[in-house]
Amino acid sequence: MLKVASRWLAVAVLILAPHVVFAKPGATTLDDLRQRFIQQFEQSAPEAAVTPMSDGLVVTFDDGREFRLYLDRAVSRVEAGEPAEVVVDSIVASTLAPDPGAFDPSRAFILVRPVEFMTFAEGEAARGMEFVSRPFVGDLTLLLAEDMVDRFVYPTSEVVAETHPDLDAVWRDALARTHDAQGEAALETIDPGIWLMTARWDIASSLLLDGAVWGRPDVIALGEIAVGVFRDALIVVQTDQPRAVAQIRRFLQNMRSDPNYQSDLLFVRRGGAWQVYE
């Protein structure tokens, strides 16, 4: 639980004192890892070009292949306790490795992602590539991904259909695997009316898709709740606590630069379906 003990200490402080700027001494930032990657990658593959992006970078090989690398998961791995040099080594190695190849359903998951994340997907679709995705709620979407240990990759519908033409069955199996891999969701009190829900950190936001979680007696006992979404945790707030709701809204807006940020909206589950909480 190193992840919860370190990163979510910052969450508690920000919620309890929303006007205080909190930063962990010596914390690794996305920019730190980006610079480390560039330095090491240029030594390993001097013929390739590396272009920084706001949320990662683009690697272009001399044969024209382009690799878009998002570093949010790398930051989370470091925050979870892995040495930064080990994380960077693994990312460099996977970038230089061949493409994942054929779709492997044993490593497939369903991830919650911001709609704006699909901007990249739309760019790929313009070149005849379409990812396996479904609309979800508000500014969130659902995306089929493969866990490559150091990163998630997003197979196209064409690649998936080559070996598994029934995309609905693939989706159902990936969703079941996601639920199984998350483990038991932990619910921790942060402040009156506010809780933190955690599970396996890199797929924790997919707890939204598990009806069994929201039917648990301890969750039902909270009454109507609204949920703030991060990739590695959910923030739960009772809707009959207006001050707590206002705190969480401010908190979500202040966390837009966090690599695990998903949305600054709150969501409520009614009639078994999620909707935006106004």
Report pLDDT for 212: 96
Mean residue pLDDT across the chain:
84
What is the spatial distance between Cα 165 and Cα 259, in angstroms, rounded to a whole number? 34
**pLDDT of 109 higher than 50:** yes
Mean pLDDT of 237-262: 92
Give the closest residue to 254 by CA, choosing from 13, 53, 57.
13
Cβ proximity of 270 and 215 under 8 Å: no
**pLDDT of 237 higher than 90:** yes
Instruction: Report the percent of the chain where pLDDT is more than 90.
Output: 47
Strand partners of residue 236:
195, 227
Report pLDDT for 64: 82
**pLDDT of 107 higher than 70:** yes
Report pLDDT for 54: 73
**pLDDT of 151 higher than 70:** yes
φ/ψ region of 104 (left if φ > 0, alpha if ψ in -120 to 50, else beta) reads beta
**pLDDT of 274 higher than 70:** yes
Report pLDDT for 123: 57
Mean pLDDT of 224-242: 96
Cβ proximity of 120 and 129 under 8 Å: no
Give the closest residue to 114 by CA, choosing from 234, 208, 231.
231
Give the closest residue to 152 by CA, choosing from 64, 56, 81.
56
**pLDDT of 172 higher than 70:** yes
pLDDT single digits (tens) 174-210 = 999 999 999 899 999 999 999 999 998 889 999 999 9
Cα distances (Å, whole numbers) of residue 53 to 34, 75, 260: 9, 15, 16
φ/ψ region of 238 (left if φ > 0, alpha if ψ in -120 to 50, else beta) reads beta
**pLDDT of 22 higher than 50:** no
Lowest mean pLDDT among 23-37, 42-56, 79-93, 98-112: 23-37
| Structure-token pair, residue 131 | 């990812």
Helix (H) or strand (E) run with residue 137 in it: strand 133-137
| Structure-token pair, residue 141 | 């979407």
pLDDT single digits (tens) 239-249 = 999 999 999 99
Lowest mean pLDDT among 128-132, 154-158, 197-201: 128-132
Mean pLDDT of 215-238: 96
pLDDT single digits (tens) 24-57 = 444 567 888 889 989 998 898 899 999 987 778 8
